[in-house]
Amino acid sequence: MAHRSHLAGAAVAVAAALALVGCSSAPQNTTRAADLDLRSLPQAVGSPAPGGDVVVGLSAGTGPTWIFPYQPSQFANFDMISGFINLMWRPLYWSYVGESPEVNYPESLAKEPAYSADTLTVTIKLNDGYTWSDGKPVSAADVVFSLSILKAAVAESAANYYGYSPGQFPDNVKSATTPDERTVVLHLTRPVNPSWFTENVLTQVIPLPSAKWNRTANQEGLDAKDPAVAAQIFKYLFAQSSDPKTYAKNPLWKIVNGPFVLDQFTPASNEATLVPNDAYTGPGKANIASYKLKPFTSPAALLSAIETNTVDIARVPPANMEKVPDIQKKGYHVYKGETTGFFPITYNFKNKSGNFAAIISQLYIRQALAHLQDQAGVVKGVFKGFAVETYGPLPSAPTSKYHPANTLKNPYPFDIDQAATILKEHGWDVQPGGITTCTAPGAGQNQCGAGIAQGAELKWKFYYNNGPQTNTLQAQALASNAKRVGIELELVGKDAGFMIQNLSNVSNPQNVDEWGMKLLGGEGSFLNPTSNNLYNTTGSSNSGSYSNPKADALIQASVVDSDPSAAKAEIEFLTTDQPALFTPSRSTVIAWTDKLAGPPNAFASFVSGQTQPQYWWFNK
């Protein structure tokens, strides 16, 4: 679409897709998920042979932009953690067994943690055998060092770590002791839900090489137990990570404990080449010669690379699922997995321009917007069946013990007339095709709501990541439906990098009045599906500043109460309260050359994002 000559054809395609979404009908002669068997993983064939360069095709905006293991909010990218950082620095606990959401203890640095009866003490015993690439063992001191640096990071700014919520981890670690070189004991300030703490917190802890990283530009051998010293060390490491042109040469980043180490990095394109860490002592010694991360500028470019066999493994762009049979004929295995993550259109609850903060704070407005989204039509028309409807922060499938009833049946089904009725009942003069305005200001039951002025218009900017065509089609479909009740969504398409670095009230408060809604991408789900960090008031990933005391209390309960009903109650409330407009959760479809072999779970893990290329090999 970057070329002017393509606009006419693109406009026709978009118009056809919008018409399809509006009537929820299926297109003719189009590949559907139900038409294909994409749930079979090939068994490993041949035997591991050394050599071969695996080229990984990445979508626009998902290439590495940060190397220090703890990511600040402005660079937060799940693919970068799992497919880049974790290949060099192993998390304390590896999550997912294939695509199954559970802790993978055989792949972890430590044994299953032990909790005291009051859950105020957590004992972690490291597995024997793991070493850093300089030969030093991965020790309890490295875990404590990591916690000290993380505490220093969030003490300077909540935005320095994307997974941080004030008062929670690492704030809730009162002290950490090391009875021996392989044991860490965490003393917590208050009880925790062991499931949440292990699955969502400890899986994100990454031990750091304390013997080599306990330094600044001018001093070495520093003691990070002193918070002031830890702050100096963090600033030094942060500054080093802020200089991408030095990534491949900086000796800091050569000290790793994972199966790979960075060999080459190109800042202009965010391309990276990792090679086997010859000193790796964990499970799965790499057979391949290199692992090359290659971002593409557009879904069309990525699809072309797959079709011409210039990449060895990639996710098929969501808008191109009809190409799956052709991709299979090109010599690729294709596999479809369902995600437990979700894809929200985030509201900006602090944008005061045009009374937007006051408008979007009204639950009835968010309910009306939910009624304007044709989820069934989007699943059929935009995703061609490769998606599931999603009404809250948990997709309708696959089901689990955490699913309340309102996540399985749409509480706000597509109904434009109902959306119009809701607006009229709250003091709005609905003008289909025009601009709906407030004619009954005030906080009464049949009025527009507190802070909404007479004549206020339902009109605001809606930014969307224009990399995937599916995002463009969803944004245009929603804007078209909204126009039918007089809501004007001013569409602004930007790439993912721009949105990540500019449209977050946490890391970019100077832009708070710039955007009303945004569709960026998916929110990766932790093993325990709480929305902690995302929809609690102080969450470091709460980019739209949603705030509700009841949500805060329910989220807090889900991280303390071990009963699954706590997280279930949280999900039920958020599905009703609509902190965001939840869109269908797309399937993850991966394709890899049939020349590439390995255990089935080593490919299934690519669906969940936890990449394990050390188990792959090329059949000669």
Residue 11 has what pLDDT?
28
Question: What CA–CA distance (Å, rounded) separates 282 from 305?
Answer: 33
pLDDT of residue 55: 98
Quote the percentage of the chain above a pLDDT of 90.
Answer: 74
* pLDDT tens digits for range 491-507: 999 998 899 889 999 88
Determine the pLDDT at residue 105. Answer: 96
DSSP state of 203: G
Q: What is the value of pTM for the model shown?
A: 0.80
Q: Is 126 exposed, middle or buried (0-12, 13-18, 19+ CB in 10 A)?
A: buried
When comparing pLDDT for 194 and 162, which is higher? 194
List beta partners, residue 593.
Answer: 332
Taken in order 15, 17, 20, 21, the sign of the CA dihedral is negative
Q: Is the pLDDT of residue 13 over 60?
A: no
For residue 24, what pLDDT is reported? 35
19 band by pLDDT with thresholds 50, 70 and 90? very low
Buried b / exposed e over 180-201, threshold 16 CB at 10 Å, is eebbbbbebeebbbebbbbbbb
Quote the tokens at residue 497: 């990098």
Q: How many CA atoms are closer than 13 Å to the CA of 328, on its beta-carbon side?
A: 12
- The residues, any chain, with a CB within 8 Å of residue 92's CB and separated by 6 or more, are 108, 109, 110, 124, 143, 202, 203, 205, 206, 207
Question: CA 274 to CA 87: how far, in whole Å?
Answer: 9
Bridge partners, residue 340, by sequence: none
When pLDDT is averaged across residues 364-392 and rounded to a whole number, the result is 95
- Mean local confidence (pLDDT), 549-578: 91
Q: How far apart are CA 85 and CA 256, in angstroms?
A: 10
pLDDT higher than 80, residue 351: yes
pLDDT value of residue 541: 86
The pLDDT score that the predictor gives to residue 2 is: 29
- What φ, ψ does residue 463 adopt, rounded to 5°? -85, 145
Query: Can you tell me the distance from the alpha carbon of 74 to that of 392, in angstroms, rounded to the nearest whole number?
Result: 25
Pairing label, strands 100-104, 94-97: antiparallel
**pLDDT computed for residue 340 by the predictor:** 76
The answer to whether residue 268 scores a pLDDT higher than 50 is: yes
For the cut 70, the answer to whether the pLDDT of residue 30 exceeds it is: no
Residues 84-128 pLDDT 10s: 999 999 999 998 888 888 899 999 999 999 999 999 999 999 999
The pLDDT mean for the chain works out to 90
More confident residue, 265 or 587: 265
Which of 66-80, 268-282, 417-431 is predicted with the least confidence, judged by mean pLDDT? 66-80
pLDDT at residue 54 in the model: 98
What tens digit of pLDDT does each residue of 35-94 get?
Answer: 567 888 999 988 888 999 999 999 887 889 999 999 997 787 767 788 899 999 999 999
| Residue pointed to by tokens 């191109």 | 320
Q: How confident is the model at residue 3 (pLDDT cuts 50, 70, 90)?
A: very low
What pLDDT is recorded for position 539?
Answer: 87
Beta strands 617-618 and 596-597, pairing class: antiparallel
Q: Are strands 580-583 and 343-347 parallel, antiparallel or unpaired?
A: antiparallel
Closest CA to 147 of 180, 121, 173: 173
Asked if the model's pLDDT at residue 134 lies above 90, the reply is: yes
Full DSSP string of 260-277: EEEEEEETTTTEEEEEE-
Query: Which segment of 39-43, 347-351, 483-487 scores lowest on mean pLDDT?
Result: 39-43
Instruction: Output the pLDDT for position 32.
Output: 56
Torsion-angle region of residue 385: left (phi > 0), alpha (psi -120 to 50) or beta?
Answer: left
Q: Mean pLDDT across the stretch 25-35?
A: 46
User: DSSP code of 533?
Assistant: T
Residue 387 has pLDDT above 70, yes or no: yes
More confident site: 566 or 464: 464
Higher pLDDT, 571 or 60: 571
Asked whether the predicted pLDDT for residue 464 surpasses 90, the reply is: yes
